[in-house]
Amino acid sequence: MINAVGRDIPDYLLVDGKEVYQGRFAKDGQILKRDAPTTVMNEKPVADKLCASIREACEKCGAHDGMTISFHHAFRNGDYTASMVCKVLVEEMGIKDLRVAATSLGDAHNLLADYIEQGIIVQVQASGVRGRIGDVISAGKLKEPAIIRSHGGRPRALMAGELHVDIAFLAAASCDKVGNASGNGGKNNCGSMGYAIPDSKYADRVVVLTDTLAPFPNVPASIKCEDVDCVVVVDEIGDPKRIGTKEARVTQDPRDLMMAERAADIIAATPWFVDGFSYQTGAGGPSLAVTRFLEERMDAKEIKMGVAFGGITGNMCDLQDRGYVRKIVDTQDFDTKAIAHLHDCPDHVEMTVSDYANPANKGAYVNYLDYMILAALEVDTKFNVNVITGSDGVVRGAPGGHPDTAAGSKCCIIVTPLVRGRMPTICKDVTTVTTPGECVDVVVTDYGTAVNPARQDIIDCMDAAGIPHVSIEELQEKAYSIVGEPDPLQWEDKVVAIVEARDGTILDVIRQIKPYTFE
């Protein structure tokens, strides 16, 4: 069946009420019955929930073949716990047919790629699958298609019972003996635990892993003792210095800076740039660079930012400390400066990823976003965006909050170079749709800016401010004139990953790439 972004979704996937994507607002107002997990009446009051080993916790929580386990990705490439736990389950306990439903996976999880190749991990559900895990998924090594969800789509799926987690293994910087856990107060802090909190609420069993046992009660706690079954103290949960990867660093590239300044000009020309505006950038370097150009425009207009949302960098904390930002509401910290700032500054507040982006509620924070600055691997002439598959068709990105913030914000601006190496970024058809074009308003490239024709209001503002713009087709043609029209990728029939829209419908599928030489 062809869906609302023109993708052909195999009928065999449309079972158990699963539907194809029908449009940005198609599911709004639909009544959803929350399907939360089983829970258990309290045991006799216990002195503590400490387990001597990960294995003991797994046994207490009833680890079994075929179960679904989850992890959060606050430590990003510095995460130690997902591999540590999988190693115990697989190598010590011989558990088979594991399903891994992490909030995101990346280079820290190459061991899991080995287990996928060995057929021990049979399914992956995540918002991102970077690194070798993406390679093995694209090579068709999973027994069941991976499910890629946005940051907001994941808590929706948890709440609706579509994603049922048997055991959540949640790394925490500090935790007391009964499970009150925090991203601060330890020897390896990650700051916001925003991604972990829904799992602590919805998983049947919850194991906290920490390297810093704190006195009871470890409050304020991001994960609460009422939700925790077991606490395991390990040597190290992760390396905070490896959170700030290249994706989250500010660019010094003059081309990136030029695009960033243009995006700032567009923001300054639109009517939501008033005192108290709300703002977020993605983790890409050019996106982060927009923020620095906003500062002088705020000065000129004598306004302040009301709130910055999302993944937070030290850069944004600086801006708050210098009085430009009233509140920071934070799902994830991208560097050690932001981690410390969350702890120290009362106007820098943690939020859960459900608060942030879940579409199945009465208004997540993304719904109140004025400006969202995002990156893209590809944008097509229908403004559809791909942030998952590379030019070789291999899964190596992460939708993250991209579809959520694009759908919720008043003005969504993509900042991306027109071409990357020999590949056009602006193209006729994206390899994979991760964000529907109807949610994307402006595309800024180093060769010009295009505005979605659906947003005549933004076009009028830019015209009034003398900001030039071209059609998206002109950008695509320019890109093809520079690097040529790319050869179409060759696919097998087999679907290796399903891309869910944030409302749970099927937005696109990713097929096995052909021919694929596995490295």
- Only one residue has tokens 């190749």, namely 117
Mention every residue, 6+ apart, whose C-beta is less than 8 A from residue 271: 461
Q: How far is the CB of 340 from a copy of itself (least distance, A)?
A: 15
Q: Which is nearer to a copy of itself, 171 or 305 (CB)?
A: 305
Nearer to a copy of itself, 155 or 417 (CB): 155
- The residues, ordered by sequence, that sit 6+ positions from 6 with a Cβ below 8 Å of its Cβ are 382
At its nearest, how many Å lie between a copy of itself and the CB of residue 367? 4
With respect to a copy of itself, which residue has the nearer C-beta, 122 or 213?
A: 213
Q: Is 76 helix (H, G, I), strand (E, B) or coil?
A: helix
Structure tokens that stand for 47 in this block: 């002195």
Instruction: Give the largest Cα separation in the chain, rounded.
Output: 72
Smaller CB separation from a copy of itself, 59 or 226: 226
Alpha-carbon gap, residue 159 to 154, rounded angstroms? 9
**What is the residue whose two structure tokens read 């009446």?**
41
First to last CA, the chain: 34
Nearer residue to a copy of itself within complex by CB, 106 or 152: 152
Single out the residue of 444, 453, 471 nearest to residue 263, CA to CA.
Answer: 444
- Smallest separation (angstroms) from a copy of itself to the CB of 179: 7
**Alpha-carbon distance values, 167 to 63, 182, 509 (Å):** 8, 19, 28
Q: How far is the CB of 17 from a copy of itself (least distance, A)?
A: 15
Backbone angles phi, psi at 496, to 5 degrees: -100, -20
Least separation in angstroms between CB 422 and a copy of itself: 39
Q: Which is nearer to a copy of itself, 354 or 386 (CB)?
A: 354
Min separation Cβ 331 and a copy of itself, Å = 13
Binding stretches for a copy of itself (CB under 8 A): 25, 27-46, 49, 159, 178-179, 206, 215-217, 219-220, 224-229, 276, 278, 306-307, 326-327, 329, 349, 351, 354-355, 358-365, 367-368, 408, 410, 503
Q: What are phi and psi of 161, to 5 degrees?
A: 80, 5
Residue 93's contacts (CB-CB under 8 Å, 6 or more residues apart) are: 55, 58, 59, 63
Contact 227, 42 (CB under 8 A): no
Instruction: Measure the CA angle with vertex 454, ends 448 and 455; round to 5°.
Output: 65
Name the nearest CA neighbour of 434 among 472, 471, 405, 475: 405
How far, CA to CA in Å, does 468 sit from each of 45, 155, 437, 447, 504?
68, 40, 21, 11, 38
Give the nearest distance from C-beta 362 to a copy of itself in angstroms: 6
DSSP 151-168: TTHHHHHHHHTSS--SEE
**C-beta closer to a copy of itself: residue 77 or 218:** 218
Q: Which is nearer to a copy of itself, 380 or 441 (CB)?
A: 441
Strand ranges (E), 87-239:
98-101, 121-126, 146-148, 167-172, 174-175, 181-182, 205-210, 230-233
Nearest CB to a copy of itself, comparing residues 86 and 223: 223
75 vs 202, beta carbon nearer a copy of itself: 202
Residue 501 is encoded by which pair of tokens?
């829209």
CB of 316 to a copy of itself, least distance (A): 15
Nearer to a copy of itself, 29 or 468 (CB): 29
CB of 39 to a copy of itself, least distance (A): 5
Question: CA-CA distances (angstroms) from residue 450 to 17, 293, 492?
Answer: 38, 20, 34
